[in-house]
Amino acid sequence: MPTHKTNIFISFDIEGISAVSSWREVKKDSVDLARIRSIATAEVNAAIRGARMSKQPVGSITICDAHASGENVIIEDLEPGVTLIKGTPRKYYMMHGISKEYDVVFLIGYHAMAGTKAGGMDHTYSSASIYSVKINGRSVGETEINAALAGFYRVPVGLVSGDDRLIDEATLFLGRQVETVITKYGISRSAARCRHPRDVHKEIEAKAAKAIQKLRELKPFTFKLPIRAEIDLVSSSIADVVEMVPGIKRVNGRRFVFRAKDILEFYRILRLMCCLGMYANTVLV
């Protein structure tokens, strides 16, 4: 009888990798960007190597480049035998491609939710548009939203890497059964005490292997349905544009509330609000 192979989905963000402390370093015109892309790709590779070192049969591995326009991971430097989702737009952005065909999700280079004290480059989906996001009365960040999107397909999160404030957040929501790697320690929004990348790589390898080995212990993360969402935008000018979206209610200058039948519907509305925020910030400034 054939042995089942573990299929892995890796969602990658850049703010949580070991070498980054501010957005200045990752702007397209930054002299540091090429170096940081290389370090980021190496952290993804560490997760791939770790999974393959687990002594469990590994099948397909998909990496979803989920920072900005999705053009950060250097594909030719990746471990072979994987596929990379890159570019924009995408319907499900940071988790585009996730499905029931996968067995586990790794979240690499993630960061804390908007409003987290000493959380490195803290934000939730769009620092230019979104001030805060609540689901069912509880503040959430990208980690919880993306974990729930995987949970829709009954796929659990097995590994999370990022700064110490992100790891506190992930442990609170996802539980201690999820493997975690602290890449740096927050000092302020744009300052951190960073671990050496090679030390981070070694730990990601070890934790990725452990996550695959304990797969049966992992449980999918979900929100109670229907989802009650509350989203505060950065400015009332963005809200003036977002107010045109059907099915959502503006309750004050910046806040919207709505219900979503599931996390997929919530995700699409959130992404639309972010895209409209980009339009408002471009046209109405």
Domains of the chain in sequence order = 6-120+141-217 (3.40.50.10780)
For residue 256, what is the enclosing H or E element?
strand 255-260
Residues in the chain: 285
Pick the closest to residue 123 from 26, 244, 225 (CA basis): 26
- Cis before 89? omega within 30: yes
Distance CA 73, CA 77 (A): 8
Pick the closest to residue 164 from 137, 195, 134 (CA basis): 195
What tens digit of pLDDT does each residue of 176-203 get? 999 999 999 999 999 999 999 999 999 9
Structure tokens at 36: 């940081």
Per-position b or e across 137-162, b if 16+ CB within 10 A of its CB = eebbbbbbbbbbbbbbbebbbbbbbb
Q: What are phi and psi of 107, to 5 degrees?
A: -110, 105
What tens digit of pLDDT does each residue of 214-271 get? 999 999 999 999 999 999 999 999 999 999 999 999 999 999 999 999 999 999 999 9
In this prediction, residue 126 carries a pLDDT of 94
What tens digit of pLDDT does each residue of 20-79 get? 999 999 998 999 999 999 999 999 999 999 999 998 999 999 999 999 999 999 999 999
Number of H helices, E strands in the chain: 6, 13
